Structure 1
Amino acid sequence: MTGFRGMRFVKDLIKRFTPQRESLTGNESVSDKQLEEVTPTPTTLTVMKRHKWSLALGVSAIALTGVITFTGHQYVEAGMNDVYHVMLDGKEVGIVSDNKIIDDYKQQRPIAVQKDFPEVHVVLETNGVTYTSERAYNVKTDDEGVLASLNQLLIPQPVGVALKVDGKTMAIVKDKQTADLILDQVSAPFAPKAKENAKVAALSASMGEDIATAPSELQKVEFVQQVDQVEVSIDPKDLAKPEDVVKKLQTGDVQPAKYTVVEGDCVSCIAKKLGITKQFIYDKNPGLQDDKLKIGNQLDVTVLKPPLSVKTTESIVKNQEIQYDTEYVKDDSQRVGVVEPISPGKNGLKKVTIQVTKVDGLLTEEKLVDEEIIDKPVTAKVKKGTKVVQGEGTGKFAWPVVSPSISSTFGVRWGKLHKGIDITGNKNIMAADNGKVIETGYKSDYGNYVIINHLNGYETLYGHMSKVTTTEGTIVEKGDKIGIMGSTGDSTGVHLHLEIHKNGSLENPLKYLNR
C-alpha cells in the first residue's frame, strides 16, 4: 500500500469512529468524561485489528514525505547565491557575483582613464552605475562581461578650467592647479620679495629713501577684478599655454610705444599731449631727473592695459625724528634781537607706520596709520629780549587744517622727491605758525600757493589751493586763515601740499607735526 493510500485509510478510519462516538452519546451535549466511560464493542476492536497494518503503513508514508521534502529543501538551498544586478542610469547591464567588483571599478576606473590622457584632465562620470542585490537559485553571473560593457558605455570627457576676469573668459587651461599657478605668476612681481612673513625692522628716515620701494611687510595681495575658475567640457586643442596666459593677463597684448623728444618739449607738455600723467612718465623712465629732456631722446610711454591688475597692501615702519621745541625766557636786560642759550634741546624719536596701497606695483595711496613715541624730545631754553618782533614764529608748528589726515608722506616717489606731505581734512587752510606772507601765486606743480616766512629761519609752503585768501606782506598769526583747499596744478585730488624749509633746506613736516 502506498503512502498516499495509507493516509486515505487513516482519514476513513477516523470518519468511522466519529459516528460510533455520536451513537454512543445519543446527543451532541454528552461530556468527554462520559465518552471515556463508553466501552468499545467487540465489533470495533475487530475492525481495528483488521486494519492495524494499513494504519502503520500510512504513518510511515507521512514520515517519508517529510524526509523527501526536507531533503529537497536542502538541495535547493545549496544552489542559492547572492548576486548583483548592475544598472547604468537605470538600465541593466548585467549580473556580477560580488558588489565589491563594482565598488572597486567606480573608484579605480577614473584613475586608469586619466593615465591614458596625461596631457589633459578627463572626467569619467560613474555616479550612474548602481546595483541591486538578489538571492536566487543557480543564476549565472558574468563579472568580466559586465566590466567590459561598462568600459564601452562610460565615455571619458576631457575637461578644462575657464579662467574668467569680470565674467569674460581669458583662456582655458588644463586644471585648477594650472590656473592657480598662472595667477600666482601674475601677482608674484608685485609682492615684496622675502618679506611676506618677516616683521619689518624700523628704518631710519632719510631724504633719499623711496617709500615706493622701501622694505615693507605685505598685508594683503588681491586682484582688482573679479576672478573666477569654471570647469568646462573642452576639445584638448583649445587648451592655452600657461606662459601665454600669464603674458596676456599682464600686458593685455599691448605693443611697446616710444616718444621722441622734440624742441620745446617738457615732461608736462608730453604728458598733456599723450593724455597721461607726469608721474607715469617718471615711473616708466627711471633715469629721467626733474624736467631735463634732450632733443632726440626716446621715452617709454607704453600704456599697458592688463585685463588683470594686482593690488597689494603693505605696511612700512620707520623711525622719524621729532623736532624739539624752544622755550623763550624773556629778559628785560637784553636788547631786542639778542638771543642767549640757557640749555640745549634734543630731538626725540618716534616710530611711524604707513600703510601703502599699490596697483600693479605703482603707488596709488598711502596713509599714516600709527605712530609711537620712542624717545621724547627735550625742550631747549633760550634767553631773549622782551620786545616781540611782529610776525616772528614760535618754532612750534600746528596742523594747518582741522581734522587732518595724511594722504601722502615725505620722501622719494619712483625716482622723484615728494618735498612735503599731502593733507586732507577741513577745507580751510591756516598758517602753521606766526609769520609774514612773502609770496603768493600760481605754479604748474603747486597750483595756487602761499609761502610764509616765520622770521626765525623757517618757511612754510601751502600748495594746490582752490583760492588764496591772503596777500603778500601780510603778517599772520598761527591759526589765521590763508586759503581754501583745492586741486590746482599737478594734483590728483583735493588736498593741501605742505612743505617746511629750515634755513633753506627741506625738512620732513612729520618731524614737527604729531598726531
Structure 2
Amino acid sequence: MKGFKFMRRMSKLQDGHPAESEANVQQSHNFDHDSKHFQQEKGTRRFRRAWILGSVGLVLLATVLVGAEKKYVAANTVTYYQVLVKGEEVGRLTDQTQLNQLYEKKQREYQEKYPNSTMVLQTEGITIEEQKAYKPEVDSEATLTKLDGMLKAYAVGVQLMVDGKAVGIVKDQETANAVLEGVKNHYVPQAEVATTASKLTRTAASSSSAAKAKAPEQVESVEISEDISIVPIKADPNKVLDVEAAVQTLTEGKEAPLLYTVQEGDTISGIAKRFEITQKEIYSNNPNVKELTLKIGDTLKLKVPQPDVTVVTVEKVTEQIVTEPEVVVRSSDQLAAGKSKVVRPGQTGLKEMEYRVTKENGTVVQEEWLGQTVIKASLPEVVYRGTKVVGEGTGMFSWPVSGATLTSSFGERWSRAHKGIDMVSSNRNIKASDAGTVIFAGVQNGYGNVVIVDHRNGYQTYYGHLKSISVSTGQRLEQGGKIGVMGSTGRSTGTHLHFEIRKNGTAVNPMKYLQ
C-alpha cells in the first residue's frame, strides 16, 4: 500500500508541482528508510524463524538418532554366563544348562570307568554368574573343553579297620559285610572240608579196612578275634577293592618274621605244609636244625604271610574207626608153655568218634574228644595158650586212666603228627594197659619221665610225662598194675598222660584197641 502511495507522489512531481514535490521527496526518503528498516526486520524475523526451525530440526534429528542407537544397542545386548573357578574366570557360556550337562557327562564317564566304586564329581569352587553385555565374546565350546579337563572325581567308600589299623577300602557298608563273611568262609570252605574228611579216612582206616570219615557235622561258631570297625572315607577309586580282592588281602596278609615253638608231634615237613612254605626255607633260616634232632620247645625262625585277622572256628567232627577184635585166651594143657593157637579168628568192628576242633585261621589249636558210638561190635578172637605166664600180654588193652578225657588224637591230621593219644583225668594214677614186663623206667628226651612195657606178643606201650614212676626195669606187671602218677615232665604243655601202643615197633592208633 505504501508503495502505491509512493508511485502517486512521483507522478505528481513529474506533472509540475514543485513545492509539493520537495515535500514529497522528503516524505519519499523517509518512506524508503522505513521500507529498508522494515525489510531488515523482516529478514531478521525470517532468519530467526529459520534458525529456530533448524534448531528444532536438529534436536528432533538428534533425538531420533539417539533413540535409534539405543534400540540398536538394546537389540545387540545379550545375556551370557560367566564361569568362575575359585573366583577366577575360566570362560563364558551362552546357557547355564551347558554346565549341568557337562557335570552329568563327566559323572557318567567316571562311574563307567570305576564301576566298583560310587563316584562323586568334585565341583566345589566352581560358580556361575549371569552377565549382560553389548556383543560379548562367548565361546561355550572352548569353556566346556577347558572345564572338562579340570573336573576330577573321588570315590565314596568305607575303610576297613582291624584293631585301629587300616587294611583296605571297599565300596560301601554292604560290600564290607560281604568281605567279612568271605573272610570267615575262607576258613570253612567245602574244599577244605573234603580234604579234612579225606585225611581222617586215611588216618583212621588201616590198609585193609573201609572206614569212612565225615565232614564237620556242624560249624558251631565262626568269629573274628580282632576288633573290626568300618569308617566312611573319600578315596582314590584305584584303591577301592572288590569283595574278592579284599578277602584275599585279609586272608593272605603280608610276609613277616615269625618265631614258632615246636610242639609235640611236629615235623619239619608238617610245619612246612602248615605254613605253606618249603622245607628248604625252614632249613635255610635255621641252619642248626635237623629233622631227627627236632625237640619239643625248640624255636624256629620262619618268614611266612601273617593275615591281618584271626578267624576262630569251632567245628564238630566225626570219624569212623575200625576197631580190632578182642582176643580171648583160653588155657590148654595140650600146648607147650608159651605156645598159642588161634581157634577162631576175630572180626574187626566199627565205631564212630566225635571231636570238637578249634582252629585259628585253619590251624588246630585245640582238640576235644566228645565220645564214641559203636556201630558194629568186633567179634573176639579165641586163642588157646598152653600156660599163662606173668608178664605176657593178652592183646586186650584197657584204658590206662580211669575216667579219661581225650585231649589230642593219634596220627598226622590237621598238619600235625602224633604217635599216640593224650588224655587227662581227675584220677591221676596210671595203670598198665595190659600185662607185660617193664623194659624202661626213667627219663627220655621229649617224654620226660616215661615207662615202656613190653607185652611179649609184639606189642609195647609207652606212658609219658609222668610226675612219678612206681615201677622199675625188669618188673613184671599184671593188667591194671600201677605204673606211676600223671604229670607234666619233659616237653609238655600241661599235666596229662601221653599214651602209645606200638606193634612190632610201629606206632598204631590206640583207639583201635582200647575197650
What is the TM-score normalised by the length of structure 2?
Answer: 0.56
1:359 aligns with 2:360: yes
The 2-side partners of 1:301 and 1:360 are apart by 17
1:8-27 pair list within 5 angstroms:
none
Superposed, 1:243-392 pairs within 5 Å as 246=247, 249-250=250-251, 253-255=254-256, 276-277=261-262, 279=266, 282-286=269-273, 288=279, 301-302=302-303, 304-385=305-386, 387-392=387-392
Compared CA separation, residues 308 and 195, structure 1 to 2 (3 A): closer
Give the Cα–Cα distance (whole angstroms) in 1 for the partners of residues 358 and 206 of structure 2. Answer: 21
Separation in 2 of the partners of 1:276 and 1:195?
25
Secondary structure at 1:412's aligned position in 2? coil
CA contact (8 A) 1:251 1:306 kept: yes
On the 8 A contact 1:282/1:414 being kept in 2, the answer is no
Conserved? CA contact 1:254–1:304, under 8 Å: yes
Provide the C-alpha distance between the structure 1 equivalents of 2:268 and 2:383, rounded to a whole number of angstroms. Answer: 49
User: By how many angstroms is 1:188 displaced?
Assistant: 4.4
* Number of aligned residue pairs: 348
CA, structure 1 residues 295+306, in 2 after alignment: closer, same or farther (shift >3 Å)?
A: closer
CA distance in 2, matches of 1:362, 1:345: 39
* CA distance in structure 1 between the partners assigned to 2:189 and 2:172 by the alignment: 28
Q: Label 1:408 to 1:320 Cα distance change in 2 as closer, same or farther (>3 A).
A: same
User: CA 1:400–1:199 in 2, change beyond 3 Å: closer, same or farther?
Assistant: closer
Aligned to 2:505: 504
- Within the alignment, does 1:161 sit opposite 2:163 as a pair? no
Find the residue that maps to 1:285 and give its secondary structure: helix
SS in 2 for 1:391: coil
- Counterpart amino acid of residue 494 in structure 1: T
Query: 1:191 and 2:188 equivalent?
Result: yes
Instruction: Calculate the aligned-residue CA RMSD, in Å.
Output: 4.3
SS in 2 for 1:473: coil
Q: Are 2:482 and 1:485 equivalent residues in the alignment?
A: no
**Distance change >3 Å, CA 502–CA 195, structure 1 → 2:** closer
Long gaps (5+) in structure 1: 1-113, 124-156, 209-213, 258-273
User: Which structure shows the bigger proportion of residues in helix conformation?
Assistant: 2
Instruction: Give matches, 1:21-420, under 5 Å.
Output: 118=111, 160-166=157-163, 170-194=167-191, 203=201, 205-206=204-205, 216-217=215-216, 219-220=218-219, 222-230=222-230, 232=232, 234-237=233-236, 241-242=240-241, 246=247, 249-250=250-251, 253-255=254-256, 276-277=261-262, 279=266, 282-286=269-273, 288=279, 301-302=302-303, 304-385=305-386, 387-413=387-413, 417-420=417-420
State the distance in 2 between where 1:230 and 1:180 align.
Answer: 9
Q: Residue type matched to 1:364 in 2?
A: V
C-alpha contact (below 8 Å) 2:469/2:485 kept by paired residues: yes
- Shift of the 194–362 alpha-carbon distance from structure 1 to 2, 3 Å rule, reads closer
Measured after TM superposition, the shift of residue 461 of structure 1 is 0.6
Distance, in Å, in 1 between the alignment partners of 2:475 and 2:166 is 63
- Following the alignment from structure 2 to structure 1, what is the Cα–Cα distance between the partners of residues 498 and 289? 32
Q: 1:207 to 1:490 in 2, by over 3 A?
A: farther
1: CA distance, partners of 2:406 / 2:380? 26
Q: Secondary structure at the match of 2:190?
A: coil
Q: Do the aligned partners of 1:250 and 1:306 also contact (CA within 8 Å) in 2?
A: yes
**Aligned counterparts of 2:182 and 2:472: Cα–Cα separation in 1:** 56
Deviation at 1:360, TM superposition (A): 1.3
Deviations 1:73-107 (A, max 9, x none): xxxxxxxxxxxxxxxxxxxxxxxxxxxxxxxxxxx
Kept in 2, the 8 Å contact 1:392–1:454? The answer is yes
Conservation of the 8 A alpha-carbon contact between 2:327 and 2:380: yes
Post-superposition shift, 1:194? Answer: 4.5
Q: Secondary structure at the match of 2:261?
A: coil
The residue aligned with 1:106 is none
Q: Deviations over 1:259-279 (max 9, x none)?
A: xxxxxxxxxxxxxxx563254
Letter in 1 for 2:392: E
**Does the 8 Å CA contact 1:485/1:494 hold for their aligned counterparts?**
yes
Deviation at 1:166, TM superposition (A): 4.6
Q: Is the 8 A contact 1:192 1:216 kept in 2?
A: no
Q: Distance in 1 between matches of 2:196 and 2:461?
A: 36
- SS where residue 183 of structure 2 aligns? helix
Structure 1 residues 284, 506: CA separation in 2 closer, same or farther (over 3 Å shift)? Answer: closer
Among all aligned residue pairs of Structure 1 and Structure 2, give the percentage whose two residues are the same amino acid.
35
Aligned-pair distance for 1:459? 0.9
Residues 343/236 of structure 1: CA separation in 2 closer, same or farther (3 Å cut): closer
**C-alpha spacing 1:332/1:473, structure 2 compared with 1 (3 Å):** same
Paired residues of 1:391 and 1:475 also in contact (CA < 8 A): yes
Task: Give CA deviations for 1:42-67 in whole Å, capped at 9, x if unaligned.
Answer: xxxxxxxxxxxxxxxxxxxxxxxxxx
Counterpart secondary structure, 2:180: helix
Change (3 A) 1:494 1:303: farther
User: 3-state DSSP class of the match of 1:182?
Assistant: helix
2:177 match: secondary structure:
helix
